[in-house]
Structure 1
Amino acid sequence: MRPSIRTSGRAVFRYRRAFIIFWAGALIVSVLFAPRLAGVTTGGGFDTPGSESARAADLLQEEFGLGYRRIVQILYHEPGGDVAEGAFRIGVTASAERVRQIPGVESVSTWYATGNDLLVSPDRSATYAIVNFEGGEDEIKALVPEIRSRARQGSALEVHVLGGPAFDYDLVETSERDLWQAEKYALPAIVVILIAVFGSLLAAGLPALLGGASVTVSLAILYFIGLRQELSVFVLNMVTMIGMGLGVDYSLFFVSRFREELRLHASAPAAVENTMATAGRAVVFSGAAVIVGMAMLVPFDFIFMRSLGVGGMVVAAVSVVIAVSLLPAALGVLGRRIDTARVAPARLTEGGGGRFWQNWSRMVMGRPVLFLGASVALLLALALPVAGMRAGSPGGQDLSPRTDSRQGLDLLAEKWGVGEASPIYIVIDTGEPFGALSRETRDGLARLEAVLAADGRVTRVESLADLELPSEPVAVRDHLLENPADAVAAATRVNIAGESDIAVARVVTSIEPTREETRRLVEDIRKEMIPGIASFGQAEAVVGGSAAETLDFTARLRQAFPYLVAAVMVITFFVLMLLFRSLILPVKAIFMNLLSVSAAYGVLVLVFQKGYGAGLLGFTPTEGIIPFVPVILFSILFGLSMDYEVFLLSRVKEEYDRGAPNEEAVTVGLQKTGRIITTAALIMIAVFASFALAESIIIKEFGVGLAVSIFLDATVVRVVLVPATMKLLGRWNWWLPGWLDRLLPDLSLRDGRL
Structure 2
Amino acid sequence: MTENKNFAARMGRWSAQHRKKAIFGWLAFVVVSLVVGSALGVKAPEDDTTYVGDSGKAHQLVDEHFPSENTESVLVKGKDAGAVRAAVDDTLAAVSEQKGVYAVESPYEKGNEGQLAKDGAALVNFKLRGDETAAEESVAPVLAAVERVQKANPSVFVGEFGMASANKALSKAFEDDFKKAETLSLPITLLILVLAFGALVAAGVPLLLGLSAVMAALGLVALPSQLFPLGDEASSIILLVGLAVGVDYTLFYLRREREERARGVGHREAVQIAAATSGRAVLISGITVIVAMAGMFLAGDQTFTGLAVGAITVVLVAMIGSVTVVPALLTVLGDKVEKGRVPFLHRLRRQDGESRVWSKVLDLVLRRPAISAVLATAVLLVMAFPAVGMKAVLSGTDDLPRNLPVMQVYDKMEASFPGGQIPAVVTIKADDVTSPAVTAAVKDLETRAVDSGRFNAPADLTVSQDKHVAQIAIPIKGSGTDTVSNEGLADLRQSLVGQTVGRADGVSAAYVSGMTAETKDYVDFLKSRAPLVVGFVLVLAFLLLLVTFRSIVIPIKAIVLNLLSVAASYGVLTWVFQDGHFEKTLDFSSNGGITAWLPIFLFVILFGLSMDYHVFILSRVKEGVDRGMKTEDAVAHGIKATASTVTSAAIVMVAVFAIFATLSFIDFKQMGVGLAVAILIDATLVRAVLLPATMKLLGKWNWYLPKRLHWLPEFRHEAAPEPARG
Interval of TM-score (by shorter of Structure 1 and Structure 2): over 0.9
The 1:299/1:72 distance shift into structure 2, 3 A limit, reads farther
Distance 2:661 2:39 in 1: 25
Distance 1:75 1:13 in 2: 67
The 1:127/1:32 distance shift into structure 2, 3 A limit, reads farther
8 A contact 1:47–1:549 mirrored in 2: no
For residues 377-434 of structure 1, the C-alpha deviation after alignment (integer angstroms, 9 at most, x for no partner) is: 11111111112211222333343222232222222222222x221100111101x1xx
8 A contact 1:379–1:595 mirrored in 2: yes
233-242 or 651-660, which deviates more = 233-242
Q: CA deviation at 1:363?
A: 0.9
8 A contact 2:433–2:468 mirrored in 1: yes
Distance 2:74 2:246 in 1: 44
Q: Which residue does the alignment assign to 2:99?
A: 103
The 1:293/1:214 distance shift into structure 2, 3 A limit, reads same
Q: Which residue does the alignment assign to 2:54?
A: 52
8 A contact 1:383–1:598 mirrored in 2: yes
AA aligned opposite 2:142: I
Q: CA deviation at 1:232?
A: 1.7
State yes or no: 1:640 paired with 2:570: no
AA aligned opposite 2:75: L
The 1:324/1:111 distance shift into structure 2, 3 A limit, reads same
Q: CA deviation at 1:33?
A: 7.1
Distance 2:134 2:478 in 1: 33
The 1:209/1:136 distance shift into structure 2, 3 A limit, reads same
AA aligned opposite 2:55: S
Distance 1:677 1:101 in 2: 62
AA aligned opposite 2:140: P
Distance 2:110 2:560 in 1: 64
Q: Which residue does the alignment assign to 2:724?
A: none
Q: What is the correspondence of 1:415-434 to structure 2 with a 5 Å cutoff?
A: 415-417=416-418, 419-430=419-430, 432=431
1:436 pairs with 433, 446, 465, which one? 433
575-584 or 705-714, which deviates more = 575-584
The 1:188/1:119 distance shift into structure 2, 3 A limit, reads same
For residues 19-63 of structure 1, the C-alpha deviation after alignment (integer angstroms, 9 at most, x for no partner) is: 2112222333455677899985469623225x3212222434554
SS in 2 for 1:122: coil
State yes or no: 1:608 paired with 2:560: no
Identity of aligned residues (%): 33
Q: Which residue does the alignment assign to 2:112?
A: 116
The 1:506/1:541 distance shift into structure 2, 3 A limit, reads same
8 A contact 2:228–2:306 mirrored in 1: no
For residues 596-629 of structure 1, the C-alpha deviation after alignment (integer angstroms, 9 at most, x for no partner) is: 1111111111111111111111111112111111
Distance 1:664 1:2 in 2: 26
State yes or no: 1:12 paired with 2:9: no
1:139 pairs with 134, 137, 142, which one? 134
Q: What is the correspondence of 1:179-190 to structure 2 with a 5 Å cutoff?
A: 179-190=178-189
Q: Which residue does the alignment assign to 1:269?
A: 268
Distance 2:22 2:123 in 1: 59
8 A contact 2:546–2:552 mirrored in 1: yes
Q: Which residue does the alignment assign to 1:737?
A: 706
Distance 2:290 2:469 in 1: 46
The 1:598/1:19 distance shift into structure 2, 3 A limit, reads same
SS in 1 for 2:463: coil
Distance 1:4 1:390 in 2: 46
8 A contact 1:235–1:307 mirrored in 2: yes
Q: CA deviation at 1:493?
A: 3.3
Q: CA deviation at 1:347?
A: 3.8
Q: Which residue does the alignment assign to 1:487?
A: none
Q: What is the correspondence of 1:666-745 to structure 2 with a 5 Å cutoff?
A: 666-741=635-710, 743-745=711-713
SS in 2 for 1:99: helix
8 A contact 1:161–1:404 mirrored in 2: no
The 1:75/1:321 distance shift into structure 2, 3 A limit, reads farther
8 A contact 1:96–1:151 mirrored in 2: no
8 A contact 2:661–2:669 mirrored in 1: yes
Q: Which residue does the alignment assign to 1:22?
A: 25
SS in 2 for 1:565: helix
8 A contact 1:45–1:302 mirrored in 2: no
Distance 2:311 2:44 in 1: 16
602-611 or 703-712, which deviates more = 602-611
State yes or no: 1:153 paired with 2:148: yes
Distance 2:663 2:41 in 1: 17
Q: CA deviation at 1:550?
A: 0.9
AA aligned opposite 1:508: P
Unaligned runs of 5+ in 1: 464-491
Q: Which residue does the alignment assign to 1:625?
A: 594
AA aligned opposite 1:130: N
8 A contact 1:203–1:338 mirrored in 2: yes
The 1:98/1:684 distance shift into structure 2, 3 A limit, reads same
8 A contact 2:569–2:674 mirrored in 1: yes
Distance 1:96 1:547 in 2: 32
SS in 2 for 1:108: strand
Q: Which residue does the alignment assign to 1:128?
A: 123
Q: Which residue does the alignment assign to 1:470?
A: none
1:547 pairs with 516, 525, 530, which one? 516
Runs of 4+ in 1 over 6 A off after TM superposition: 33-39
Q: How well do the aligned residues superpose, as a CA RMSD in angstroms?
A: 2.4
8 A contact 2:253–2:274 mirrored in 1: yes
Distance 2:317 2:272 in 1: 21
Q: What is the correspondence of 1:284-363 to structure 2 with a 5 Å cutoff?
A: 284-344=283-343, 346-349=346-349, 350-363=351-364
SS in 1 for 2:511: strand
State yes or no: 1:169 paired with 2:177: no
SS in 2 for 1:290: helix
Distance 2:129 2:357 in 1: 68
**TM-score, scaled to structure 1:** 0.89
Q: CA deviation at 1:552?
A: 1.2
8 A contact 2:397–2:479 mirrored in 1: no
SS in 2 for 1:541: strand
8 A contact 1:175–1:237 mirrored in 2: no
8 A contact 2:75–2:124 mirrored in 1: yes
SS in 1 for 2:471: strand
Q: Which residue does the alignment assign to 2:407?
A: 406
Aligned residues: 709
Q: CA deviation at 1:114?
A: 5.9
The 1:128/1:16 distance shift into structure 2, 3 A limit, reads farther
**TM-score, scaled to structure 2:** 0.93
619-628 or 220-229, which deviates more = 220-229
SS in 2 for 1:548: helix
Distance 1:120 1:239 in 2: 47
Distance 1:46 1:38 in 2: 21
Distance 1:225 1:107 in 2: 39
Q: Which residue does the alignment assign to 1:73?
A: 73
SS in 2 for 1:530: helix
Q: Which residue does the alignment assign to 1:234?
A: 233
SS in 1 for 2:178: helix
Distance 1:108 1:228 in 2: 38
SS in 2 for 1:401: coil
